[in-house]
Structure 1
């Protein structure tokens, strides 16, 4: 168990990330990224995030002296990741970083020059087309109703966030297979993931990702609970979102003991040290204009 929620997400990003980064609906917690990178890679080694979003993995990696490469489907967020790397460089980060705008389902082709050179892959799958985002309730605004913003990945239907769970897992499996081609023997894949509720039912996404990772030719190595709450001397410090608490209260009112999730599952896989490259179907590239692997450099 890692105590990664001692500071709120906003406090962890304040001054270290560009303001536009806060607009992403599902950001990886910087403390989780930093601990993973510090544990599973060494200075100078190569860290890759195939679904890098606003570049949390990349920013934390270059600050820790690693080389970092990210792939991001949405060009909007790729540009934010580039801006974050530029800020990190101005702040004295010693590692170089690079961002590619493209479809990670073809990551083996997009980053073919990195085959068998990557020490660590760190990423997180989407949880659906919309997340909790930012919320202002009646209590906050004094006005009736709830206002949400920054809660959509995009409206591009080719984004995996819009796909059903089976399609999401199929696509994520292809990404992991491609990452297996990039990893050096013994290299690690770290996936941060949590369960989510769909129509009131809890979806065991960590369990699904565990199965997909093993089916992709990776060896399961560890499972770590990364706390999203803070740990005080005598109590836990709640960091749950408005909608998590709202859903839990509604459940208890109906007699269902629903609890707000207070941790992120961190699944660790390894590429077999002396095995062959991960074998899988050749990644297909969608016809939505994502095959042109445009390179966006910091």
Structure 2
């Protein structure tokens, strides 16, 4: 059994670190991302620049919830969390800032229902920093799992056509942006992104059931050669919002074959590693994504006078 230092009454909690948390490994890339989404998501889903891996969402949902419980993704993108939830008999609620992705998520949910998904889902278009006002009172205190992923650095986004695809020299990069809304956190500098993520988690607190789990997928990225430690920052944001870190899960982005890892890197990962090595920097491929598990307090505060928010709602059931 792993124990952690307990705070002395009247003092601040001891800050958690990745090294201080129990760790488990999820085998979530036996199929590559394209085959995980094949026939389960609409073709338009491929245009989103940073999608959650369906197997990661499915593993979190089946581990931390039971059928009939409610799953929330306050930055749901194309709706991966919602789709996997309703396929596994859970209900789901999502918030997405960009109406384009709300529409894509709704089409993915419709497809899931035609394939026999039994859960119900609701999607709201709006800013997740006002999550407690975007979802109706029937959702307050009902969410058993919040599963989401904050935006990553721009260097890991998008798709490419190489010379063999276009028959022209050079590389054509496309599907690289979330949208044009200036409030989109993908456009924010790292410090502002993490402050906003803390605000999102804080706003979601009234929606969580006492003791609910919060699962956040994150991986480090490099900005001008410097490593941005997003997993550690997510833990800090969660603690600032009043959540308690309880586990670090290593979700593999590589297949396991005969005891060895088969890496599934993106074009940009390969390019960055090759460039770094050519410059004498011993960089290696990242073949996992951290899933940070936190828990809500068993006694949650209510928000008597939430700030107003403007939302356009799209619902599927």
Question: How high is the TM-score relative to the length of structure 1?
Answer: 0.93
In the TM superposition, 1:161-176 aligns within 5 A as 161-176=186-201
Question: Corresponding residue for 1:295?
Answer: 313
| Cα separation, 2, equivalents of 1:61 and 1:33 | 8
Alignment deviations for residues 115-169 of structure 1 (CA, whole Å, 9 cap, x no partner) = 1111110000001456431112235444211101111111222111101111111
Q: Secondary structure at the match of 2:250?
A: strand
Offset, 1:261: 1.2
Q: Is the 8 A contact 1:100 1:297 kept in 2?
A: yes
- CA displacement at 1:234 relative to structure 2: 4.7
SS of structure 2 residue aligned to 1:256: coil
Q: Root-mean-square deviation (CA), in Å?
A: 1.7
1:284 CA displacement: 6.1
CA contact (8 A) 2:156 2:268 kept: no
Q: Secondary structure at the match of 2:191?
A: helix
Pairwise CA distance, 1:235: 2.9
CA change 1:32–1:121 in 2 (3 A) is same
- Structure-2 change in CA distance of 1:283 and 1:144 (3 Å): farther
Q: 2:12: which partner in 1?
A: none
Deviations 1:232-272, CA, capped at 9 Å, x for gaps: 11532121011111110111111111112111100000012
Inter-partner Cα distance in structure 2 for 1:166 and 1:194: 16
Task: Pick from 79, 83, 86 the counterpart of residue 59 of structure 1.
Answer: 83
User: What SS does the aligned partner of 2:248 have?
Assistant: strand
Counterparts of 1:139 and 1:225, CA distance in 2: 35
- Judging changes above 3 Å, is the alpha-carbon distance between structure 1 residues 20 and 76 closer, same or farther for their aligned structure 2 residues? same
Distance 1:207 1:49, change over 3 A: same
Equivalent in 85, 89, 109 of residue 85 of structure 1: 109
Q: Name the count of aligned residue pairs.
A: 291
Cα 1:278/1:242, change in 2 over 3 Å? farther
The aligned runs of 1:1-298 (5 Å cut-off) are 1-113=25-137, 114-128=139-153, 131-273=156-298, 275-277=299-301, 291-298=309-316
- Contact 2:142/2:209 (<8 A) preserved: yes
Cα distance, 1:283 vs structure 2:
7.0
How far apart are the structure 2 equivalents of 1:56 and 1:126?
15
Q: Is the 8 A contact 2:78 2:108 kept in 1?
A: yes
Distance 2:307 2:170 in 1: 44
Query: How many angstroms apart in 2 are the aligned matches of 1:240 and 1:282?
Result: 46
Q: Is the 8 A contact 2:74 2:96 kept in 1?
A: yes
Secondary structure of 2:45 counterpart:
helix
> Equivalents in 1 of 2:162, 2:97: separation in Å?
32
Structure 2 counterpart of 1:288: none
Contact 2:153–2:223 (8 Å) recurs in 1: no
Unaligned runs of 5+ in 1: 286-290
> Which 5+ residue runs of structure 2 have no aligned equivalent?
1-24
CA separation of 1:282 and 1:136: change in aligned 2, threshold 3 A: farther
Shift, 1:292, TM fit:
2.3
Once residues 257 and 233 of structure 2 are traced to their aligned partners in structure 1, the CA distance between those partners, rounded to angstroms, is 32
SS at 1:158's partner residue?
Answer: coil
Counterpart CA distance in 2 for 1:147 and 1:276 is: 49
Per the TM alignment, residue 282 of structure 1 is displaced from its structure 2 partner at its CA by 7.8
